[in-house]
Structure 1
Amino acid sequence: MSFLAKVYDVELRNIMKKFQNNVVVQDFNLQVEQGEFVSFLGPSGCGKTTTLNMIAGFLEPDGGDLLIKGQRMNGVPPYKRELGMVFQTYSLFPHMTVAENIAYGLKLRKVNKAEMKERVDRVLSLVKLPNVADRYPKQLSGGQRQRIAIARALVIEPSLLLLDEPLSNLDAKLREELRDELKRLHHEIGVTTIFVTHDQEEALSLSDRIVVLNHGFVEQIGTPLEIYNEPASEFVHTFIGKTNRLEGEVVEVNGDRLTVRTNEGLLIHAAKQTRKFAPNQKVIAFVRPEKIQLSATESNEAENNVKGELQIASFLGSYTECEVKVGGNTLSVKVQKLIDKATEQEAAKGIVCYWKAEDVLIMPTERG
């Protein structure tokens, strides 16, 4: 009896890339299912764009195998890979109209004029710009130009869509709008998509799975919830969102519950820990700012209550970000309410930060 190996839309097997003696991607393994939206997330220089360029065929891997639809792509030029790519810069031809820009890939494929017009009109409607076909790129806003770049990638009906930080040149409001458009487009079309970004919010909101990269290595692959709530390393936890980091050592272990004494003397209770710890082990306790509440008195609902002094309260629209000095630490706290000047002055004299034991993540102190 023979068993056929599962065919993925994209598969990376031990991919490695170096420039001279500098290894920029190492031992990269990934399987992307049909219709998945996968994001490569990490700081500048972590290898995410290099990996995307290898999938596109603009760079050749120096080790490992790269497969698309089960076919080995090492050495296959980009134009034979049947994929669409959207770059950070719009890369539109300034002397061509919007319609001509979008149709460029169809002309290379010798699609007849009637079908070409129908497909151009369809993608313009899809990106919600049905009336700009006769305009030139300079007559469009930045957000409109990026939509046209996406339309040009989609019009060839690729089996794989690659997006290289397509929102990074836009202002905050446009980024948010186009991010929502990308999510809508993916739901409507269902094309397998690989998206490169250094923006955590983009990755969390758009992705089915996220690949977190650091110095060319894969730190973790998981769903947005897994990446945020169950980070595999300190790097993942501190890179994804904001957190409070408190170093200390374990003083008591009771099943999945721990008590940690920080270096500054705070006792922190943690529950539902998946890792195993031992007494006297050096650890780091993490608490997300949104998990901490503020009160004038101690809470009976939370195992962790610490007294501090409010230093700064910054109103940021949907929440107020506070800095509270607790012993030798400063805790970042996000609360869903406005703190007025009178409350701020009162809290500067003394306030209680409280949070549940289940909201504390304990990790072993990383070495090297």
Structure 2
Amino acid sequence: MIDVELRGIMKKFQSNVVVQNFNLQVEQGEFISFLGPSGCGKTTTLNMIAGFLDPDGGDLLIKGQRMNGVPPYKRELGMVFQTYSLFPHMTVAENIAYGLKLRKVNKQEMQERVNRVLGLVKLPNVADRYPKQLSGGQRQRIAIARALVIEPSLLLLDEPLSNLDAKLREELRDELKRLHHEIGVTTIFVTHDQEEALALSDRIVVMNHGFVEQIGTPLEIYNQPASEFVHTFIGKTNRLEGEVIGMDGDVLTLRTTGGMLVKAAKQQRTVALHEKVIIFIRPEKIKLTDTAVSEEANRVKGYLQLASFLGSYTECEVKVGEHTLSAKVQMTDSSVDRQEGQTVYCQWNADDVLVMPAGRG
């Protein structure tokens, strides 16, 4: 069943078009993330779904009903904002119950539902406190509880974790995933954080300058990006420019502008002999060794310029001719303790090289 559908949605502010030809179907119970840099139109799109903004073109449907012009309070949805938006003069219980009070729910049921959602967000003992007596993470959980208590058919989250420190953000991200599995409410989540989107989503909508660049599962977005923007925005990558100089069965031979030869497995994108291409290799796909003996298709010699220890892995920069390659050396790798300036070999498999036609990425 389709819970939310956007058909050719467009939004502009004066002459500035901020969302263009947005098409999406959200299945019941699905967790969808709108991901992109600031100003790409993701929050504007969320506000149109919520009813705070009206689209200037296209149709917006919720549960099959056209919602253009329908006010927010008639959409039966819950929304969590980046800034919590709790009433400071109300207790936690009163904040959570506010939506129920507007819906004229009786006091006994109201109390039961407030207690239930406080248990869901793992804060059963804070009902009598005021927002100022809570930590930032606790306030955000209460904001989520307030959205859930009305039992919405659709939950909208506008960057709810962005104001939290890294450790707390990770903890609440896991809590959101648990809550979604437990409740199963259809959820649309706005974020500029790639890790959040990859960890939480059933599907991700990658946006750029008001356009949808790609819609897909986290694995599809990461491993099969539809454009250069998607590939460079999602995670880190090594980007090289080059040319196709050979085709042998299922293997392409590429030469970079710096003269490095790269073998790549043939992919869905069609490239021609002598065509200019962009070459991408993820840092985690590159292995560092002391010798050139390997089964990998690509082996290049360089020297270690920089080694940054980051806990579970060491991020290395290796100078190879005119190129600088980034590699992630996992903590379990015997070569993790490397010294800057030493000679190393970078090695990777042809299947781990992504090739895109230049100028069409």
TM-score scaled by length of structure 2: 0.98
Amino acid at match of 1:140: L
String of CA shifts for 1:151-175, please: whole Å, max 9, x gaps: 0000000000000000000000000
For residue 257 of structure 1, what is the aligned residue in structure 2?
Answer: 251
Query: Aligned residues: percent identity?
Result: 81
Cα distance change on mapping 1:341 and 1:188 into 2, 3 Å: closer
Does residue 150 (structure 1) correspond to residue 144 (structure 2)? The answer is yes
Q: Give the one of 355, 358, 361 matched to 1:365.
A: 358
- Partner of 1:313, secondary structure, is strand
For residue 40 of structure 2, what is the aligned residue in structure 1?
Answer: 46
Amino acid at match of 2:138: Q
String of CA shifts for 1:318-358, please: whole Å, max 9, x gaps: 0000000111111110011389999534x623110000000
Cα distance change on mapping 1:204 and 1:341 into 2, 3 Å: closer
Cα distance change on mapping 1:24 and 1:110 into 2, 3 Å: same
- Partner of 2:338, secondary structure, is helix
Q: Confirm or deny: 8 A CA contact 1:313 1:339 kept in the other structure.
A: no
Shift of 1:301: 1.3
Cα distance change on mapping 1:367 and 1:208 into 2, 3 Å: closer
Q: Give the one of 99, 103, 108 matched to 2:93.
A: 99
RMSD of aligned alpha carbons: 1.6
Shift of 1:299: 3.2
Query: What residue ranges of structure 2 are gaps of 5+ in the alignment?
Result: none
Q: Give the one of 339, 348, 354 matched to 2:347.
A: 354
Cα distance change on mapping 1:342 and 1:193 into 2, 3 Å: closer
Amino acid at match of 1:291: K
For residue 82 of structure 1, what is the aligned residue in structure 2?
Answer: 76
Distance in 2 of aligned mates of 1:199 and 1:17:
24
Query: What residue ranges of structure 1 are gaps of 5+ in the alignment?
Result: 1-6
For residue 116 of structure 1, what is the aligned residue in structure 2?
Answer: 110
**Structure 1 residues 167-316: aligned runs within 5 Å:** 167-316=161-310
Cα distance change on mapping 1:287 and 1:232 into 2, 3 Å: same
Amino acid at match of 1:41: L
- Partner of 1:17, secondary structure, is strand
Distance in 1 of aligned mates of 2:293 and 2:215:
37
For residue 4 of structure 1, what is the aligned residue in structure 2?
Answer: none
- Partner of 1:119, secondary structure, is helix
- Partner of 1:344, secondary structure, is coil
- Could you list the structure 1 runs, at least 4 aligned residues long, displaced by more than 3 angstroms after superposition: 338-345
Distance in 1 of aligned mates of 2:292 and 2:331:
19
Cα distance change on mapping 1:342 and 1:167 into 2, 3 Å: closer
Amino acid at match of 1:362: V
For residue 71 of structure 1, what is the aligned residue in structure 2?
Answer: 65
TM-score scaled by length of structure 1: 0.96
Amino acid at match of 1:158: P
- Partner of 2:2, secondary structure, is coil
Shift of 1:300: 2.4
Distance in 1 of aligned mates of 2:336 and 2:229:
38
